[in-house]
Structure 1
Amino acid sequence: MKILLSSFLIFCISNAAIAKDDITQRSYDDVQFKNNLLTTNQTNYLKIPKDWAHAYGSDSTTLTHLDANLAELVRLRVGQLDNCNYCVILHTRQTVKLGIPTAKVSSLSTWQQSHLFTDKEKAALAFAESLSGVNHANFQPAYEKLIEAKFSNPEIEELTNVVILMNIWSRIFMVQGKFSERPSE
Protein backbone atom coordinates (compact mmCIF):
# COMPACT_ATOMS: atom_id res chain seq x y z
CA MET A 1 0.00 0.00 0.00
CA LYS A 2 2.86 2.39 0.85
CA ILE A 3 4.51 1.72 -2.51
CA LEU A 4 1.21 2.33 -4.34
CA LEU A 5 0.59 5.58 -2.45
CA SER A 6 4.19 6.79 -2.94
CA SER A 7 4.08 6.00 -6.66
CA PHE A 8 0.80 7.79 -7.03
CA LEU A 9 2.00 10.87 -5.16
CA ILE A 10 5.06 11.06 -7.42
CA PHE A 11 2.71 10.77 -10.41
CA CYS A 12 0.60 13.62 -9.08
CA ILE A 13 3.58 15.87 -8.51
CA SER A 14 4.96 15.28 -11.98
CA ASN A 15 1.60 15.42 -13.77
CA ALA A 16 -0.22 18.17 -11.90
CA ALA A 17 -3.30 19.53 -13.61
CA ILE A 18 -4.39 23.14 -13.42
CA ALA A 19 -7.51 23.61 -11.32
CA LYS A 20 -10.73 25.08 -12.65
CA ASP A 21 -11.13 26.53 -9.18
CA ASP A 22 -9.58 25.85 -5.82
CA ILE A 23 -11.46 23.06 -4.06
CA THR A 24 -10.38 24.44 -0.68
CA GLN A 25 -11.92 27.87 -1.37
CA ARG A 26 -15.39 27.00 -2.63
CA SER A 27 -18.53 28.57 -1.25
CA TYR A 28 -22.13 28.73 -2.38
CA ASP A 29 -24.88 31.34 -2.41
CA ASP A 30 -26.42 30.00 0.79
CA VAL A 31 -23.30 28.80 2.62
CA GLN A 32 -19.71 29.91 2.99
CA PHE A 33 -16.80 28.17 4.67
CA LYS A 34 -14.21 29.62 6.97
CA ASN A 35 -11.00 28.06 8.23
CA ASN A 36 -10.99 28.56 11.98
CA LEU A 37 -7.78 26.71 12.85
CA LEU A 38 -4.87 26.24 10.41
CA THR A 39 -5.19 29.04 7.88
CA THR A 40 -1.74 28.97 6.29
CA ASN A 41 -0.15 26.93 3.52
CA GLN A 42 3.47 28.04 3.96
CA THR A 43 4.91 24.61 3.15
CA ASN A 44 2.52 24.09 0.21
CA TYR A 45 1.07 21.03 1.97
CA LEU A 46 -2.11 21.36 -0.11
CA LYS A 47 -0.36 20.83 -3.45
CA ILE A 48 -0.39 17.03 -3.47
CA PRO A 49 -4.04 16.57 -2.40
CA LYS A 50 -5.10 19.26 -4.89
CA ASP A 51 -3.23 17.46 -7.67
CA TRP A 52 -4.79 14.18 -6.57
CA ALA A 53 -8.24 15.81 -6.57
CA HIS A 54 -7.81 16.73 -10.22
CA ALA A 55 -7.36 13.04 -10.96
CA TYR A 56 -9.93 11.48 -8.59
CA GLY A 57 -12.14 14.27 -7.24
CA SER A 58 -15.64 15.31 -8.29
CA ASP A 59 -14.36 17.56 -11.07
CA SER A 60 -12.05 14.89 -12.47
CA THR A 61 -12.07 14.07 -16.12
CA THR A 62 -9.60 11.22 -15.68
CA LEU A 63 -11.92 8.69 -14.03
CA THR A 64 -12.48 6.48 -17.03
CA HIS A 65 -13.56 3.19 -15.51
CA LEU A 66 -15.59 4.01 -12.40
CA ASP A 67 -19.12 5.30 -12.94
CA ALA A 68 -19.33 9.02 -12.03
CA ASN A 69 -22.56 8.62 -10.04
CA LEU A 70 -21.14 5.73 -8.05
CA ALA A 71 -17.94 7.68 -7.36
CA GLU A 72 -19.99 10.62 -6.10
CA LEU A 73 -22.11 8.43 -3.81
CA VAL A 74 -18.90 6.99 -2.37
CA ARG A 75 -17.44 10.48 -1.86
CA LEU A 76 -20.55 11.59 -0.03
CA ARG A 77 -20.63 8.45 2.14
CA VAL A 78 -16.98 8.88 3.13
CA GLY A 79 -17.67 12.53 3.96
CA GLN A 80 -20.53 11.37 6.21
CA LEU A 81 -18.34 8.77 7.90
CA ASP A 82 -15.59 11.32 8.52
CA ASN A 83 -18.09 13.93 9.80
CA CYS A 84 -16.73 16.46 7.34
CA ASN A 85 -19.23 19.31 7.05
CA TYR A 86 -17.57 20.74 3.94
CA CYS A 87 -17.40 17.32 2.25
CA VAL A 88 -21.05 16.52 2.97
CA ILE A 89 -22.29 19.85 1.63
CA LEU A 90 -20.05 19.76 -1.46
CA HIS A 91 -20.79 16.16 -2.40
CA THR A 92 -24.52 16.41 -1.68
CA ARG A 93 -24.60 19.29 -4.16
CA GLN A 94 -22.61 17.20 -6.64
CA THR A 95 -25.12 14.33 -6.40
CA VAL A 96 -27.92 16.78 -7.21
CA LYS A 97 -25.90 18.15 -10.14
CA LEU A 98 -25.47 14.60 -11.47
CA GLY A 99 -29.19 13.88 -11.14
CA ILE A 100 -28.87 11.11 -8.56
CA PRO A 101 -32.36 10.56 -7.10
CA THR A 102 -33.03 12.48 -3.88
CA ALA A 103 -34.35 9.37 -2.14
CA LYS A 104 -31.07 7.57 -2.79
CA VAL A 105 -29.00 10.51 -1.54
CA SER A 106 -31.21 10.91 1.53
CA SER A 107 -30.89 7.26 2.48
CA LEU A 108 -27.17 6.96 1.82
CA SER A 109 -26.29 6.77 5.52
CA THR A 110 -28.69 3.82 5.83
CA TRP A 111 -27.85 2.12 2.54
CA GLN A 112 -27.69 -1.30 4.19
CA GLN A 113 -31.41 -1.11 4.97
CA SER A 114 -32.37 0.14 1.52
CA HIS A 115 -33.29 -1.53 -1.74
CA LEU A 116 -32.58 1.70 -3.64
CA PHE A 117 -28.95 0.70 -4.18
CA THR A 118 -27.68 -1.81 -6.71
CA ASP A 119 -25.44 -4.71 -5.70
CA LYS A 120 -22.51 -2.88 -7.28
CA GLU A 121 -23.25 0.30 -5.30
CA LYS A 122 -23.61 -1.69 -2.08
CA ALA A 123 -20.29 -3.44 -2.70
CA ALA A 124 -18.56 -0.09 -3.32
CA LEU A 125 -20.09 1.45 -0.20
CA ALA A 126 -19.08 -1.51 1.97
CA PHE A 127 -15.54 -1.29 0.57
CA ALA A 128 -15.43 2.48 1.20
CA GLU A 129 -16.63 2.06 4.77
CA SER A 130 -14.12 -0.70 5.46
CA LEU A 131 -11.21 1.19 3.92
CA SER A 132 -12.16 4.48 5.60
CA GLY A 133 -12.41 2.87 9.01
CA VAL A 134 -9.38 0.68 8.36
CA ASN A 135 -11.42 -2.27 9.53
CA HIS A 136 -9.09 -5.19 8.86
CA ALA A 137 -11.72 -7.80 9.79
CA ASN A 138 -14.22 -6.42 7.28
CA PHE A 139 -11.79 -5.44 4.55
CA GLN A 140 -11.24 -8.84 2.92
CA PRO A 141 -14.99 -9.61 2.71
CA ALA A 142 -15.65 -6.09 1.38
CA TYR A 143 -12.98 -6.55 -1.28
CA GLU A 144 -14.44 -9.93 -2.23
CA LYS A 145 -17.87 -8.28 -2.67
CA LEU A 146 -16.30 -5.97 -5.25
CA ILE A 147 -15.14 -9.02 -7.19
CA GLU A 148 -18.59 -10.66 -6.87
CA ALA A 149 -20.20 -7.45 -8.12
CA LYS A 150 -17.99 -7.65 -11.23
CA PHE A 151 -15.75 -4.65 -10.55
CA SER A 152 -12.77 -4.65 -12.89
CA ASN A 153 -9.26 -4.07 -11.56
CA PRO A 154 -9.17 -0.53 -13.01
CA GLU A 155 -12.52 0.23 -11.30
CA ILE A 156 -11.15 -1.06 -7.98
CA GLU A 157 -8.02 1.06 -8.40
CA GLU A 158 -10.05 4.20 -9.10
CA LEU A 159 -12.48 3.43 -6.27
CA THR A 160 -9.56 2.98 -3.87
CA ASN A 161 -8.12 6.36 -4.85
CA VAL A 162 -11.51 8.08 -4.52
CA VAL A 163 -11.90 6.75 -0.97
CA ILE A 164 -8.35 7.56 0.14
CA LEU A 165 -8.55 11.05 -1.35
CA MET A 166 -11.78 11.73 0.54
CA ASN A 167 -10.17 10.59 3.78
CA ILE A 168 -7.22 12.91 3.18
CA TRP A 169 -9.42 15.93 2.46
CA SER A 170 -11.65 15.38 5.47
CA ARG A 171 -8.62 15.30 7.72
CA ILE A 172 -7.15 18.42 6.13
CA PHE A 173 -10.46 20.23 6.56
CA MET A 174 -10.59 19.09 10.20
CA VAL A 175 -7.12 20.57 10.83
CA GLN A 176 -8.19 23.76 9.06
CA GLY A 177 -11.32 23.94 11.18
CA LYS A 178 -13.38 24.38 8.00
CA PHE A 179 -16.87 25.23 9.25
CA SER A 180 -19.93 26.30 7.31
CA GLU A 181 -21.30 29.75 7.98
CA ARG A 182 -24.16 31.88 6.78
CA PRO A 183 -23.12 34.36 4.12
CA SER A 184 -22.43 37.83 5.41
CA GLU A 185 -25.09 40.26 4.34
Structure 2
Amino acid sequence: MAIRFEHLRFENTRFDPDLTEFHDLAKQMAAKFGYTAELSIDARLAELLRLRVAQLDPCSYCLVLHTAAAERIGIDAETIAHVAGWRESAVFTDAEKAALAYCEGLTTYDLVAFPGLHERLLAHFDEAAIAEIAAVIINMTVWTRLKLAQGATPVPVVGGESGTDRLG
Protein backbone atom coordinates (compact mmCIF):
# COMPACT_ATOMS: atom_id res chain seq x y z
CA MET A 1 0.00 0.00 0.00
CA ALA A 2 2.71 2.44 -1.01
CA ILE A 3 1.85 6.08 -1.49
CA ARG A 4 2.77 7.40 -4.92
CA PHE A 5 3.51 11.05 -5.38
CA GLU A 6 2.33 12.57 -8.62
CA HIS A 7 4.64 15.57 -8.69
CA LEU A 8 7.60 14.50 -6.54
CA ARG A 9 10.19 11.82 -6.20
CA PHE A 10 12.92 11.58 -3.59
CA GLU A 11 16.66 11.30 -4.12
CA ASN A 12 19.14 10.17 -1.50
CA THR A 13 21.77 12.90 -1.62
CA ARG A 14 24.05 11.54 1.11
CA PHE A 15 23.93 7.73 1.22
CA ASP A 16 21.82 4.72 0.34
CA PRO A 17 20.14 3.50 3.55
CA ASP A 18 20.17 -0.08 2.25
CA LEU A 19 23.96 -0.15 2.83
CA THR A 20 23.31 -1.09 6.46
CA GLU A 21 21.05 -3.52 8.26
CA PHE A 22 19.64 -0.56 10.17
CA HIS A 23 17.29 0.22 7.28
CA ASP A 24 15.86 -3.31 7.55
CA LEU A 25 15.31 -2.79 11.28
CA ALA A 26 13.62 0.55 10.62
CA LYS A 27 11.34 -1.14 8.07
CA GLN A 28 10.39 -3.75 10.68
CA MET A 29 9.48 -0.96 13.10
CA ALA A 30 7.47 0.76 10.38
CA ALA A 31 5.54 -2.46 9.75
CA LYS A 32 4.46 -2.45 13.41
CA PHE A 33 3.99 1.29 14.05
CA GLY A 34 4.19 3.13 10.70
CA TYR A 35 1.43 4.57 8.55
CA THR A 36 0.36 1.17 7.16
CA ALA A 37 0.34 -0.64 10.52
CA GLU A 38 -2.81 -1.95 12.19
CA LEU A 39 -2.95 -0.19 15.56
CA SER A 40 -5.38 -0.18 18.45
CA ILE A 41 -5.24 3.63 18.74
CA ASP A 42 -7.29 5.74 16.37
CA ALA A 43 -5.73 6.06 12.89
CA ARG A 44 -6.38 9.82 12.87
CA LEU A 45 -4.51 10.26 16.14
CA ALA A 46 -1.57 8.15 14.97
CA GLU A 47 -1.27 10.18 11.76
CA LEU A 48 -1.51 13.51 13.61
CA LEU A 49 1.38 12.35 15.81
CA ARG A 50 3.45 11.35 12.77
CA LEU A 51 2.84 14.73 11.17
CA ARG A 52 3.86 16.55 14.33
CA VAL A 53 7.12 14.61 14.63
CA ALA A 54 7.85 15.36 10.96
CA GLN A 55 7.28 19.06 11.65
CA LEU A 56 9.42 19.12 14.77
CA ASP A 57 12.46 17.35 13.33
CA PRO A 58 11.80 18.71 10.36
CA CYS A 59 11.82 16.16 7.56
CA SER A 60 10.66 17.08 4.04
CA TYR A 61 10.21 13.45 3.04
CA CYS A 62 8.11 12.67 6.12
CA LEU A 63 6.03 15.82 5.78
CA VAL A 64 5.10 14.94 2.20
CA LEU A 65 4.50 11.24 2.95
CA HIS A 66 2.42 11.81 6.07
CA THR A 67 0.39 14.63 4.57
CA ALA A 68 -0.62 12.18 1.82
CA ALA A 69 -1.24 9.40 4.36
CA ALA A 70 -3.42 11.74 6.46
CA GLU A 71 -5.46 12.73 3.41
CA ARG A 72 -5.84 9.07 2.44
CA ILE A 73 -7.47 8.25 5.80
CA GLY A 74 -9.81 11.25 5.56
CA ILE A 75 -8.11 13.99 7.55
CA ASP A 76 -9.07 17.23 5.83
CA ALA A 77 -6.47 19.64 4.44
CA GLU A 78 -7.37 22.38 6.92
CA THR A 79 -6.67 20.12 9.91
CA ILE A 80 -3.41 18.90 8.38
CA ALA A 81 -2.35 22.49 7.67
CA HIS A 82 -2.57 23.58 11.27
CA VAL A 83 -1.24 20.58 13.19
CA ALA A 84 1.66 22.83 14.23
CA GLY A 85 -0.88 25.22 15.79
CA TRP A 86 -2.88 22.53 17.61
CA ARG A 87 -2.89 24.49 20.89
CA GLU A 88 -4.89 27.28 19.27
CA SER A 89 -7.39 25.03 17.53
CA ALA A 90 -10.83 23.71 18.35
CA VAL A 91 -10.65 20.92 15.75
CA PHE A 92 -8.49 18.71 17.97
CA THR A 93 -10.08 16.79 20.84
CA ASP A 94 -8.76 17.00 24.39
CA ALA A 95 -7.33 13.50 23.94
CA GLU A 96 -5.57 14.51 20.70
CA LYS A 97 -4.20 17.63 22.39
CA ALA A 98 -2.86 15.57 25.28
CA ALA A 99 -1.20 13.18 22.81
CA LEU A 100 0.23 16.03 20.72
CA ALA A 101 1.70 17.64 23.84
CA TYR A 102 3.21 14.29 24.82
CA CYS A 103 4.54 13.92 21.27
CA GLU A 104 6.29 17.26 21.51
CA GLY A 105 7.79 16.45 24.92
CA LEU A 106 9.09 13.07 23.77
CA THR A 107 10.38 14.33 20.42
CA THR A 108 12.14 17.39 21.83
CA TYR A 109 13.34 15.55 24.95
CA ASP A 110 11.68 17.93 27.39
CA LEU A 111 12.59 16.26 30.70
CA VAL A 112 11.03 19.01 32.79
CA ALA A 113 7.56 18.83 31.21
CA PHE A 114 7.51 15.14 30.33
CA PRO A 115 6.20 13.65 33.61
CA GLY A 116 3.21 16.01 33.53
CA LEU A 117 2.59 15.21 29.88
CA HIS A 118 2.43 11.51 30.71
CA GLU A 119 -0.02 12.22 33.53
CA ARG A 120 -2.18 14.23 31.13
CA LEU A 121 -2.36 11.22 28.79
CA LEU A 122 -3.68 9.04 31.62
CA ALA A 123 -6.91 11.06 31.60
CA HIS A 124 -7.64 9.81 28.08
CA PHE A 125 -5.76 6.57 27.42
CA ASP A 126 -4.97 3.30 29.15
CA GLU A 127 -1.42 2.02 29.59
CA ALA A 128 -1.49 -0.07 26.39
CA ALA A 129 -2.64 2.90 24.30
CA ILE A 130 0.03 5.12 25.86
CA ALA A 131 2.68 2.52 25.01
CA GLU A 132 1.41 2.45 21.42
CA ILE A 133 1.40 6.27 21.22
CA ALA A 134 5.02 6.29 22.43
CA ALA A 135 5.93 3.61 19.87
CA VAL A 136 4.37 5.60 17.01
CA ILE A 137 6.33 8.70 18.07
CA ILE A 138 9.59 6.79 18.52
CA ASN A 139 9.16 5.04 15.16
CA MET A 140 8.59 8.41 13.48
CA THR A 141 11.63 9.87 15.19
CA VAL A 142 13.74 7.01 13.81
CA TRP A 143 12.41 7.63 10.29
CA THR A 144 12.80 11.41 10.39
CA ARG A 145 16.39 11.04 11.54
CA LEU A 146 17.12 8.36 8.94
CA LYS A 147 15.63 10.40 6.10
CA LEU A 148 17.48 13.52 7.24
CA ALA A 149 20.78 11.61 7.50
CA GLN A 150 20.44 9.98 4.06
CA GLY A 151 19.43 13.30 2.51
CA ALA A 152 16.01 12.25 1.19
CA THR A 153 15.43 15.32 -0.95
CA PRO A 154 12.17 16.08 -2.79
CA VAL A 155 12.74 16.58 -6.51
CA PRO A 156 10.06 17.56 -9.05
CA VAL A 157 8.94 14.77 -11.37
CA VAL A 158 9.68 15.60 -15.00
CA GLY A 159 8.59 14.05 -18.27
CA GLY A 160 7.65 10.38 -18.06
CA GLU A 161 9.05 9.82 -14.57
CA SER A 162 6.82 8.60 -11.78
CA GLY A 163 7.14 9.64 -8.17
CA THR A 164 7.40 7.08 -5.42
CA ASP A 165 7.64 6.95 -1.65
CA ARG A 166 10.80 4.75 -1.34
CA LEU A 167 9.70 3.77 2.18
CA GLY A 168 8.87 0.18 1.47
Equivalent AA in structure 1 for residue 140 of structure 2: M
Equivalent AA in structure 1 for residue 143 of structure 2: W
Q: Does 1:32 align with 2:9?
A: yes
Q: Does 1:112 align with 2:87?
A: yes
Following the alignment from structure 2 to structure 1, what is the Cα–Cα distance between the partners of residues 147 and 27?
13
Equivalent AA in structure 2 for residue 179 of structure 1: T
- In structure 2, runs of 5+ residues without a counterpart are 160-168
**SS of residue in 1 equivalent to 2:118:** helix
Following the alignment from structure 1 to structure 2, what is the Cα–Cα distance between the partners of residues 50 and 122?
28
Shift of 1:175: 1.0
Q: Name the structure 2 match of 1:86.
A: 61
Shift of 1:184: 2.7
Q: Does 1:126 align with 2:101?
A: yes
Following the alignment from structure 1 to structure 2, what is the Cα–Cα distance between the partners of residues 175 and 33?
14
Following the alignment from structure 1 to structure 2, what is the Cα–Cα distance between the partners of residues 101 and 38?
35
Following the alignment from structure 1 to structure 2, what is the Cα–Cα distance between the partners of residues 107 and 43?
36
Q: Name the structure 2 match of 1:47.
A: 24
Cα distance per residue 1:26-81 (max 9 Å; x no partner): 651111000000125333220111001000000012x1x21111000100111010
Cα distance per residue 1:89-115 (max 9 Å; x no partner): 000011111111222111111001111
**SS of residue in 1 equivalent to 2:22:** coil
TM-score (ref. length: structure 2): 0.90
- In structure 1, runs of 5+ residues without a counterpart are 1-19
Following the alignment from structure 1 to structure 2, what is the Cα–Cα distance between the partners of residues 151 and 101?
24
Alignment root-mean-square deviation, CA: 1.3
- Contact 2:12 2:150 survives alignment (8 Å): yes
Q: Structure 2 matches for 1:155-174, cutoff 5 A?
A: 155-174=129-148
Cα distance per residue 1:100-131 (max 9 Å; x no partner): 12221111110011111100000000000000
Instruction: Give the aligned length.
Output: 159
**Alignment equivalent of 2:111, drawn from 136, 142, 145:** 136
Aligned sequence identity (%) = 34
Q: Name the structure 1 match of 2:49.
A: 74
**Alignment equivalent of 1:103, drawn from 78, 81, 84:** 78
Note closer, same or farther for the CA distance 1:169–1:98 as it changes in structure 2 (3 Å cut). same
Following the alignment from structure 2 to structure 1, what is the Cα–Cα distance between the partners of residues 11 and 4?
9
- Contact 2:51 2:62 survives alignment (8 Å): yes
